[in-house]
Amino acid sequence: MSIEKTDRIVVTGGAGFLGSFLLEKLAARGYSNVLVTRRREYDLTRETDVQRMYNDLRPAVVMHLAAEVGGIGANRENPGRFFYANMAMGLHLIEGARRHGLKKFVQVGTICAYPKMTPVPFREADLWQGYPEETNAPYGVAKKALLVMCQAYRQQYGLNAVYLLPVNLYGPRDNFDLDSSHVIPALIRKCVEARDRNQPAIIAWGTGSASREFLYVEDCAEALVRSMEQYESPEPMNLGSGREISIRNLTELVAKLSGFKGNIVWDPSKPDGQPRRCLDVSKAREAIGFTAQTSLEDGLARTIEWFGTKRSG
């Protein structure tokens, strides 16, 4: 069942970081009936609120981006909340999608669902080969359970649900709160503020030996729209850039692009998280013709520029 430009699309998390760019992509593609859920109107962790949302908004498509999530520190402090909130939201929304006969349900998962020691590059077939990295396991397991639910609902009820696995995202409008942000916005804020204050050094978490892959947020939004339009498989699909970089090299690159010339002091008492993350992105290239267009250097430069404008504005 093809998606029409006039079909009503509800985006959960549409007011958030990735959601804001997804809304722009949908509008640019000609989708004219897009609605965003707000927590003050619908608490998606509550079944009654989700039922009311479906009754009020009557979507043909739901793109579920809403999540309670943060960096390593936030995951360590909120394991129970992150498990419950993410499990509850997906559980109620997928059941509602079945009951209301949606054309499509797009579930955005997380690569935190991959096993801690997944061989690099991460292939979708490796998702069940072990337990996730401990610091983000409750979040990752909750999200992975929603893949099982999507597949089970497709099998039993014919629900057209697809499951996507974006790698670590970054870009303008990200969360730059040092208590809850991910690695790139945290590093940008530390470097820019240290530069402006003429500080001699910044402190970076861990040893710098872990590696990560990053996807510019606008590229991810493009992949989500293409997945809504084209992807029909019950199997999960990675969304990434395919480029791996060590946290040490990333930190040095952010410092260079930010104009911070001081020292980087590593704090090995802080966790590194998963040792390596880099995705096999061949499925997305073959299934929806998606290849990331923004280099890490260009994306970081745009993000640093945005953060500087936001601070001075």
Q: Which of 31, 114, 139, 170 is catalytic?
A: 139
Query: Is 153 labeled as catalytic in the residue annotation?
Result: no
Q: Please name which of 94, 72, 111, 70 lies closest in space to residue 220, comparing C-alpha atoms.
A: 111
Enter the tokens of residue 41. 């109107």
Enter the tokens of residue 72. 């390593």
Which residues are the active-site residues? 139
